[in-house]
């Protein structure tokens, strides 16, 4: 069992996403500690990309803010090294194929593993293209996280059978960003995954409120929230830490109140 899978044992996992370097890398580092204190199980660290095609406006803008401050992949690796001196919370990178490919996929995976990352999520790399990245990740002990979407239908089995770490269940059509209602049958999606493989399922895209988290927590193993947190970073800048910590606490509480067994 990878370190990622252990976070789903005996509890519902809350998985926050933040864009590295928004507003700066120092704040990102402090945010990781604050979110760990607040009870986050695993942290998704975004590496900014100039043209994030799977993101809604909130995370697009965070990407551009970070890049405008000269945040680079190398400087983010440096930040991860510093975090690892203080925290062992599991962390995965979320970025786009070109960031990894242009760095050199092998060089990227080696460096990520060495600095203490646990996995990689690339939303523009579907099942058919994943081996180019997943093969290299495997060599360095990183989980390459697979995504399934409301449109995946018969593809779910094929994707789940080869999935590692956890399955990222995309709750809604469209791009990242908060939604007032999630209409996809999350329970059915999760069941289809588990029929193919006994692997944790975390649900993201559109989730922002404790109520939504509790509802999803009843059917899945974890909840992923990005835009709602990135919005706080955008609004409060370097002063965002207490706000994010409080928000993550509220989401973690909502998930633990709703601690029914699932799958």
Rounded distance between C-alpha atoms, residue 161 and residue 51, angstroms:
31
Query: Given phi > 0 = left and psi -120 to 50 = alpha, else beta, which region is 144?
Result: beta
Q: What length does the chain have? A: 263
Residue 39 is encoded by which pair of tokens?
Answer: 């009870």
| Residue 151 interacting with other proteins (CB under 8 A) | yes
Helices (H), 93-185: 97-103, 105-115, 131-139, 155-161
| Residue 50 interacting with other proteins (CB under 8 A) | yes
| Residue 128 interacting with other proteins (CB under 8 A) | yes
Residue 149 is encoded by which pair of tokens?
Answer: 């979407």
Of the pair 134, 170, the CB lying nearest other proteins is at: 170
Minimum distance, C-beta of residue 214 to other proteins, in the bound complex (Å): 25
Cis peptide before 56 (omega within 30 of 0): no
Among 26, 81, 106, 124, contact with other proteins (rule: CB under 8 A): 124
Nearest to 94 by CA among 19, 159, 31: 19
| Residue 54 interacting with other proteins (CB under 8 A) | yes
Minimum distance, C-beta of residue 129 to other proteins, in the bound complex (Å): 6
For other proteins, the binding residues in 20-49 under the rule CB under 8 A are: 49
Site string for other proteins, 87-106 (x = CB under 8 A): ---------xxxxxxxx---
| Residue 125 interacting with other proteins (CB under 8 A) | yes
Minimum distance, C-beta of residue 87 to other proteins, in the bound complex (Å): 25
Minimum distance, C-beta of residue 178 to other proteins, in the bound complex (Å): 15
Among 23, 123, 204, 206, contact with other proteins (rule: CB under 8 A): 123
Of the pair 158, 218, the CB lying nearest other proteins is at: 158
* Residue count, binding to other proteins (CB under 8 A): 41
**Chain center to CA of 104:** 22
| Residue 127 interacting with other proteins (CB under 8 A) | yes
Give the alpha-carbon dihedral of 221, 227, 230, 234, to 10 degrees: -160
CB 134 within 8 A of CB 164: yes
């Amino acid at each position: 069992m990878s370190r990622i899978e252990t976070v789903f044992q005996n509890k519902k996992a809350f998985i926050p996403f933040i864009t590295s370097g928004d507003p700066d890398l120092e704040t990102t580092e402090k945010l990781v500690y604050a979110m760990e204190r607040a009870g986050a199980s695993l942290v998704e660290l975004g590496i900014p990309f100039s043209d994030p095609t799977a993101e809604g406006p909130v995370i697009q803008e965070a990407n551009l803010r970070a890049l405008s401050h000269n945040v680079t992949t190398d400087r983010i690796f440096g930040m991860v090294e510093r975090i690892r001196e203080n925290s062992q919370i599991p962390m995965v990178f979320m970025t786009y194929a070109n960031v990894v490919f242009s760095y050199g996929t092998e060089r990227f995976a080696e460096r990520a593993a060495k600095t203490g990352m646990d996995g990689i999520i690339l939303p523009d790399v579907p099942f058919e293209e994943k081996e180019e990245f997943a093969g290299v990740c495997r060599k360095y002990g990183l989980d390459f996280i697979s995504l399934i979407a409301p449109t995946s239908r018969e593809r779910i089995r094929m994707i789940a059978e080869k999935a590692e770490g956890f399955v990222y269940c995309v709750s809604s059509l469209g791009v990242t960003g908060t939604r007032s209602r999630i209409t996809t049958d999350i329970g059915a999606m999760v069941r289809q995954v588990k029929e193919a493989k006994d692997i944790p399922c975390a649900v993201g895209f559109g989730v922002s409120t404790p109520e939504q988290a509790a509802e999803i927590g009843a059917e899945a193993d974890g909840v992923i929230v990005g835009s709602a947190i990135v919005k706080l970073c955008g609004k409060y800048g370097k002063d965002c830490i207490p706000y994010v910590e409080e928000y993550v606490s509220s989401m973690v509480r909502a998930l633990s109140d709703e601690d029914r067994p699932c799958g």
